[in-house]
């Protein structure tokens, strides 16, 4: 830009210079020509004028001192018709003893002319030429110079740009390598280029700052990713155009992952979610809706949230299936316990009324025993209800080393009344790796399992109960085998025995004293323990429960 401005100024100045110099040159040339004409007139007279005029490219005019034109090679033969030239500028200057010089329009030829006049003894000799010729010469010269400047500018530009590009390209490539960690700072020499050096220092400062920011962003992104991954709900983000921008793992089940499109109504495979998102995009209204997915057989709460900064729409899908199931279990549990409590309460009330009206001692004692049995059953239901509630509220398995003999003794103590009432025989055998008989278990939970399974063998029995408990271990788990000689369980009943308040028909018919919660409690504990339970049973010959509890 500076070069072009300089050239423009130069051409203007040069144009003025050319005009001035060309006029000086022309004036000199005219003076010499006028001298020649003067000498010729002195030596040859007027007869030489015609010859001189024919060989001159300039206009030659001879003017008498009174202004009358006596010769003009452009108006030859018509001089008498020409006006007086006495008052022409250049003629007046010559009459005053000076050299006349002017540029003006000729009244005779109607053209712009350059005039020169000088005084001879008897005449004024005037030489002139068309000024347009001078201008054309100057314009041609300027045009040639302009062409040369343009050519030089282009050449300079090509060479300069190539050099600059090559020079700075090498520097920038080295900068890039260093910024990418593939070079040393000392490999860039910028001492001779202060601007580039300052630019490099700014870039380096920016890089260090940017790298720190990137580290912080990466750290925050990792935290956010872990937080999002740990959230047990589906997350879908959609922009205003309807394109899905983010989904987490829990929302993938609602997507057709094989479809390349990101449009929510093409990617999502459930019409309920599509309808929910469409309404949200149209109304931009935060809402909440419960949906049942028949294919998954699951209940979900859909929530919508709008982020104005970024025009982003967030849809949350929270699985409430377990809550629903828990609600159903609670309802069923309340119904069942109400039913189970109603029976002993009705019996207690009925026999108490009968007891009040009984006369003989034998009848009173009989009714009293029945009332006590129903009270005992009522107590057992409450106790089992509290136990199962406690298990549900505390799913933590607290393992520690305990002595197997302590487990057996506490189990016996919890069953002493049952054993004495039925004359039951309970035998314990164990085969453990620890020579001192230590095992690493949750003592309270294991005692509850043993107590309920042994008690189950005592209650559901129509003869003197005989129970054998075998305890062993291998590398990965402890095994507890509880075998009884009870009434047994039909194969069709096996799939239901772990349900709460479930009792086999035969036990119900005999009004046995079980609450129907014992095996449910056992199953919940083993489930929390991540263990396994197997059943082998034959009608009239007894049942064997095999429990496996992992060591860790």
Topology of domain 231-319 in CATH is Beta-Lactamase (3.30.450)
CA dihedral 264, 266, 270, 276 (to 10 degrees): 30
DSSP assignment of 13-55 = HHHHHHHHHHHHHHHHHHHHHHHHHHHHHHHH-THHHHHHHHT
pLDDT score, position 72:
81
Q: How many angstroms separate the Cα of 97 from the Cα of each of 20, 56, 60, 100, 118?
A: 23, 26, 19, 9, 8
- Cα(291)–Cα(313) distance, integer angstroms: 19
CATH superfamily, domain 2-137, is PAS domain (3.30.450.20)
How many CB atoms are located within 10 Å of the residue 220 CB? 10
Domain ranges of the chain: 2-137, 189-219, 231-319, 320-393, 394-552
Longest dimension (CA), the chain: 194
pLDDT score, position 215:
77
pLDDT, tens digit, 9 for 90 and up, residues 492-509: 888 878 776 666 644 444
2-137 and 231-319: identical CATH topology: yes
Q: What are phi and psi of 536, to 5 degrees?
A: -125, 125
In CATH, the architecture of 320-393 is: Orthogonal Bundle (1.10)
pLDDT score, position 512:
47
Q: Is 353 exposed, middle or buried (0-12, 13-18, 19+ CB in 10 A)?
A: exposed
pLDDT score, position 465:
94
Tell me the helix, strand and coil percentages in the chain, rounded to 5: 55, 20, 25
Which residues in the chain show pLDDT less than 70? 1-8, 10-25, 44-47, 107-109, 131-135, 138, 165, 167-168, 171-172, 174-200, 204, 207, 228-229, 310, 329-330, 332-343, 358-359, 384-395, 500-516
pLDDT score, position 393:
59
pLDDT, tens digit, 9 for 90 and up, residues 433-457: 888 889 999 898 899 899 989 988 9
Topology of domain 394-552 in CATH is Heat Shock Protein 90 (3.30.565)
How many CB atoms are located within 10 Å of the residue 136 CB? 11
Asked whether the beta carbons of 74 and 54 are under 8 A apart, the reply is: no
DSSP assignment of 454-482 = HHHHHHS-SS--EEEEEEEE-SSEEEEEE
């Amino acid at each position: 830009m500076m070069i072009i401005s300089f050239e423009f100024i130069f051409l203007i100045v040069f144009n003025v210079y050319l005009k001035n110099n060309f006029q000086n040159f022309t004036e000199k040339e005219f003076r010499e020509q006028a001298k020649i004409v003067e000498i010729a007139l002195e030596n040859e007279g007027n007869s030489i004028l015609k010859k001189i005029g024919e060989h001159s490219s300039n206009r030659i005019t001879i003017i008498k001192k009174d202004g009358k034109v006596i010769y003009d090679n452009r108006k030859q033969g018509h001089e008498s018709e020409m006006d007086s030239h006495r008052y022409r500028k250049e003629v007046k200057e010559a009459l005053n003893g000076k050299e006349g010089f002017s540029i003006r329009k000729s009244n005779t030829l109607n053209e712009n002319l350059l005039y020169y006049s000088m005084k001879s003894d008897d005449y004024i000799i005037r030489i002139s030429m068309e000024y347009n010729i001078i201008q054309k010469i100057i314009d041609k010269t300027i045009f040639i110079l302009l062409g040369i400047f343009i050519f030089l500018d282009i050449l300079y530009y090509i060479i300069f740009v190539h050099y600059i590009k090559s020079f700075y390209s090498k520097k920038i490539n080295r900068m890039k390598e260093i910024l990418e960690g593939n070079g040393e700072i000392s490999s860039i020499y910028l001492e001779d280029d202060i601007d580039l050096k300052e630019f490099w220092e700014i870039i380096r400062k920016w890089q260090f700052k940017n790298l720190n920011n990137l580290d912080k962003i990466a750290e925050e992104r990792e935290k956010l990713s872990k937080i999002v991954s740990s959230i047990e709900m589906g997350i879908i983000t959609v922009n205003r155009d309807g394109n899905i921008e983010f989904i987490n793992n829990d929302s993938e089940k609602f997507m057709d992952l094989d479809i390349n499109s990101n449009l929510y109504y093409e990617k999502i495979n459930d019409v309920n979610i599509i309808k929910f998102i469409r309404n949200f995009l149209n109304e931009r209204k935060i809402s909440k809706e419960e949906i049942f997915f028949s294919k998954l057989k699951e209940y979900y709460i859909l929530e919508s949230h709008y982020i104005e900064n970024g025009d982003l729409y967030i849809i949350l899908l929270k699985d409430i299936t377990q809550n629903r199931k828990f609600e159903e279990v609670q309802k069923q549990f309340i119904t069942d316990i109400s039913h189970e409590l109603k029976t002993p309460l009705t019996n207690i009330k009925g026999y108490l009324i009968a007891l009040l009206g009984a006369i003989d001692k034998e009848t009173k004692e009989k009714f009293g025993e029945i009332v006590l049995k129903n009270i005992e059953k009522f107590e057992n239901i409450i106790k089992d209800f509290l136990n199962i509630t406690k298990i549900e509220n505390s799913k933590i398995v607290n393992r520690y080393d305990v002595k197997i003999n302590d487990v057996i003794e506490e189990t016996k103590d919890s069953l002493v009344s049952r054993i004495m009432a039925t004359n039951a025989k309970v035998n314990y055998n164990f085969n453990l790796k620890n020579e001192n008989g230590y095992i690493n278990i949750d003592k309270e939970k294991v005692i509850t399992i043993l107590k309920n399974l042994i008690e189950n063998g005592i209650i559901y029995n129509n003869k003197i109960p005989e129970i054998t408990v075998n305890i062993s271990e291998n590398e990965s788990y402890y095994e507890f085998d509880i075998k009884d000689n009870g009434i047994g369980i039909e194969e069709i009943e096996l799939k239901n025995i772990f349900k709460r308040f479930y009792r086999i028909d035969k036990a119900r018919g005999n009004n046995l004293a079980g609450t129907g919660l014992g095996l449910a409690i056992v199953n919940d504990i083993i489930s929390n323990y991540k263990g396994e339970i197997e059943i082998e049973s034959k009608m009239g010959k007894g049942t064997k429960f095999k429990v496996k509890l992992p060591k860790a």
